Chain A
């Protein structure tokens, strides 16, 4: 087993070189298929590959001891995204290229500035305030994209605050829970023989539920609501191991879901689409078909992939609206097949494994909660969107971490990676 120490960075660099070869192969295939400009493809592929390597080399020089597998996994995911974006539309690949560089810079910055991340636990009410502000702003000033009103327009680019707020939410919860762990695990007798948590525990529970509903109602952002609340429950479980909280939480979420099904057309439509039988698509009338168009196109793409896929450039993923953001997984499965799709899922599993390992290795509650929360966030997001585009669950629009096109999402995810690395470093430095 790779233990803490400088050895680990050598593994990381080796794995990054392999990931670089993967990117090179993908870039070459994309270049051949698109008959693209050789120089821009060369630059587009080598700069990110060298960027990742540079980060690892500098870390080595700084004797950074964090987990050596997280960065290569993220590199594989990011490279896949870059190659597929180039294949779908070079314009998106170009923008993603810049965002990836910015993301790497933020990753490095996070690992330098927040090495002493425990200090972060002191400012939890500031996070709550910032988070609330960032969420509320788009309701009044935001622009709508893909049915969700959760974007701020900055001229050249849009920022989606909810992507960053998710980090603040996890930070807040980790601080709050590590501080109030005793309260959370103690019962107040409520009614003869039945123990219920006291109001100090109920507070944040209801608060989170409120935030999720707020997202749902005002921003129509089903995906974010689901992920926030799921992450919250995961962290509550890690902190208390009490199924009572989880049951109440799931109950609240179900109630919210059922209410929004009854109240909101867009939720009802999503659920009805989810209930369609794929064997019966051919019988659908025009209206039903047009309503379910995106999901049906996604399933057509996935079905076209078979086991081996059509090969890069061989399929027709462009038939799916918004294929470059939420539906990029369908494009990958169409052209890389079931095997490619499973490989992506395995990469996320690996990410979760390493993230939770960092949580288990660290020694204080705040670090454990923070690492577990950030990992759960990432895992839930990947699961939600993959399950959505494959119609295992109703579709909720969120990005596929590190792969989907989108600057806010990419940068936020690199910051999360940086924080996980810090926690892992902190845990290993004392070994």
Chain B
């Protein structure tokens, strides 16, 4: 019987060991996610007891801080609309969004060192401070981008291709995150003999604007057809498949016909090679490439840049949930339909129409990947986390996300995109003394004029910045989106 008892003991030891390992997993691995879950009332409670950390840009310009105004702690955003979607807000009423929510654990000093310090601070009756967060963001670029977009809806994303550091992320229309709780009007409503005061805040109004959706961070979560910017991906697929610079030429007659479906071109380009086709954005050439790559080839090429497949029509049971890439700023990856494509659809997908959807962040990553020799770096916005005495708690460490294409393919694409700026549709991006590479797009959509797109990077020989710009229903990419990108590139590289 003793043997049985011993075995029972081993069983208990095994059970409790599993329990302890699981507890370790829960506390250490899942803990940080739980700690910053917006449902977690500890966040609001912790907020009471602490001066929330400040947020700075890459040059130390203040973007957010706690100030005591009239005896009350107030979160102040000196750059207001310029950093609205990027930073988000913290509000008891309206929740926690953007980087304010993502970086709660730093801003409220919720790491282990912070917890130990909290014990001493409490005993000694000292004021507690959260850590300050330094971003990779350039506040100057934020302002420029928002000004350039002006009253138009759209988004701008700029990335350092070598590190993945996000330099700018702007969405228009914007809002002032500091005043969302401000009451704009109070109405007295009498109902069943009771008079109630109904207060309408700025947030309530922002929320009702479903057409312009000012609360939506278009840069990360906006979904657009990519238009001709997708030709870069089709081209990448073709170059990778050929294993070398494709010598193919196509006689562009102004349109191609696939199974009776006519794919129109912007003009009759005559005999075009690869670089020429990218530069003039020839639909016939890329339509042909798309047919040659086929559905599989297109999906593989897009997949290597991080695109995912989505069941748009719910053919395999229920509308697929739009995927989100978890990062400091969660963003939507590009998506292609999971179901079969007909040859005409493959041809239109190759030129960026079809059912493809992308976020500006996704397209910025495509440009950044080509700029960085084919390697897409993970987009990061936190450069460092610093406590009040200057001690560094965390530093950004760049990490590769995908190897999208070979260095040779990247070089060839870069050369073709340079041609696009030198003598093609992206000529508005030209800056004297800087080699700029770019690709425009004019994405057809059901809401009116085309969405204007530009993706590109500079300097082409040693890229410092990659940019994606989209302006909604504003016309052609070459004249609408490209100048926005040019000014951002010029501004950033002049510093």
What is the CA–CA distance of A372 and B42 in the complex, to the nearest angstrom?
A: 42
- Tell me if A281 and B16 are in contact (CB < 8 A): no
How would residues 170 to 202 of chain B score, 1 for a CB under 8 Å from any chain A CB and 0 otherwise? 000000000000000000000000000000000
- Tell me if B35 and A303 are in contact (CB < 8 A): yes
Interface range for A: 35 or more
Q: In the complex, which residues 13-28 of chain B have their Cβ closer than 8 Å to any Cβ of chain A?
A: 13, 15-16, 18-20, 22-24, 26-28
Name the A residues within 8 Å of B16 (CB-CB).
345, 348-349, 379, 383
What is the CA–CA distance of A333 and B115 in the complex, to the nearest angstrom?
A: 13
Secondary structure of the A contact surface, majority rule: helix
How would residues 45 to 56 of chain A score, 1 for a CB under 8 Å from any chain B CB and 0 otherwise? 000000000000
- Tell me if B1 and A278 are in contact (CB < 8 A): no
What is the CA–CA distance of A284 and B34 in the complex, to the nearest angstrom?
A: 13
Name the A residues within 8 Å of B6 (CB-CB).
356, 360
B191 → A minimal CB distance (Å): 24
Q: In the complex, which residues 229-285 of chain A have their Cβ closer than 8 Å to any Cβ of chain B?
A: 234, 237-239, 241, 278-279, 281-282, 284
Chain B residue, CB-CB nearest to A284: B39
B123 → A minimal CB distance (Å): 8
How would residues 391 to 411 of chain A score, 1 for a CB under 8 Å from any chain B CB and 0 otherwise? 110000000000000000000
B112 at the interface (CB under 8 A from A): yes
What is the CA–CA distance of A348 and B2 in the complex, to the nearest angstrom?
A: 21
Name the B residues within 8 Å of A238 (CB-CB).
1, 4-5, 8
B33 at the interface (CB under 8 A from A): yes
What is the CA–CA distance of A349 and B40 in the complex, to the nearest angstrom?
A: 32
What is the CA–CA distance of A387 and B12 in the complex, to the nearest angstrom?
A: 13
Q: In the complex, which residues 286-317 of chain A have their Cβ closer than 8 Å to any Cβ of chain B?
A: 289, 296, 299-300, 302-311, 313-316
- Tell me if A314 and B34 are in contact (CB < 8 A): no
- Tell me if B41 and A316 are in contact (CB < 8 A): yes
Chain A residue, CB-CB nearest to B36: A282
Name the A residues within 8 Å of B24 (CB-CB).
338, 342
What is the CA–CA distance of A304 and B110 in the complex, to the nearest angstrom?
A: 8
Interchain CB contact (< 8 A) of B27 among A316, A333, A376:
A333
- Tell me if A234 and B8 are in contact (CB < 8 A): yes
Name the B residues within 8 Å of A338 (CB-CB).
23-24, 27-28
B30 at the interface (CB under 8 A from A): yes
A283 → B minimal CB distance (Å): 10
- Tell me if A314 and B33 are in contact (CB < 8 A): no
A333 → B minimal CB distance (Å): 7
B387 at the interface (CB under 8 A from A): no
B346 → A minimal CB distance (Å): 34
- Tell me if A303 and B31 are in contact (CB < 8 A): yes
- Tell me if A390 and B9 are in contact (CB < 8 A): no
A59 at the interface (CB under 8 A from B): no
What is the CA–CA distance of A338 and B123 in the complex, to the nearest angstrom?
A: 22
- Tell me if A279 and B33 are in contact (CB < 8 A): yes
Chain B residue, CB-CB nearest to A365: B1
B113 → A minimal CB distance (Å): 9
How would residues 33 to 75 of chain B score, 1 for a CB under 8 Å from any chain A CB and 0 otherwise? 1110111111001000000000000000000000000000000
What is the CA–CA distance of A174 and B250 in the complex, to the nearest angstrom?
A: 90
- Tell me if B15 and A383 are in contact (CB < 8 A): yes
What is the CA–CA distance of A395 and B272 in the complex, to the nearest angstrom?
A: 68
What is the CA–CA distance of A429 and B33 in the complex, to the nearest angstrom?
A: 55
- Tell me if B23 and A341 are in contact (CB < 8 A): yes
What is the CA–CA distance of A146 and B156 in the complex, to the nearest angstrom?
A: 54
- Tell me if B9 and A307 are in contact (CB < 8 A): no
What is the CA–CA distance of A300 and B30 in the complex, to the nearest angstrom?
A: 10
- Tell me if A314 and B119 are in contact (CB < 8 A): yes
B205 at the interface (CB under 8 A from A): no
Can you list 29 A-B pairs, Cβ within 8 angstroms, ordered by A?
Answer: A234-B8, A237-B4, A237-B8, A238-B4, A238-B8, A239-B1, A239-B4, A278-B34, A296-B39, A300-B39, A300-B42, A303-B27, A304-B31, A306-B27, A307-B27, A310-B119, A311-B122, A314-B122, A315-B42, A316-B45, A338-B27, A341-B23, A352-B9, A356-B5, A372-B5, A379-B15, A383-B15, A383-B19, A392-B18
Known contacts A337-B115, A341-B27, A392-B22; 14 additional CB pairs below 8 A are: A238-B5, A281-B37, A289-B39, A299-B34, A300-B35, A309-B115, A311-B122, A342-B24, A345-B23, A349-B16, A360-B2, A379-B12, A390-B19, A391-B26
Shortest Cβ-Cβ A-B pairs, 5 listed: A303-B34, A311-B119, A303-B31, A338-B27, A238-B4
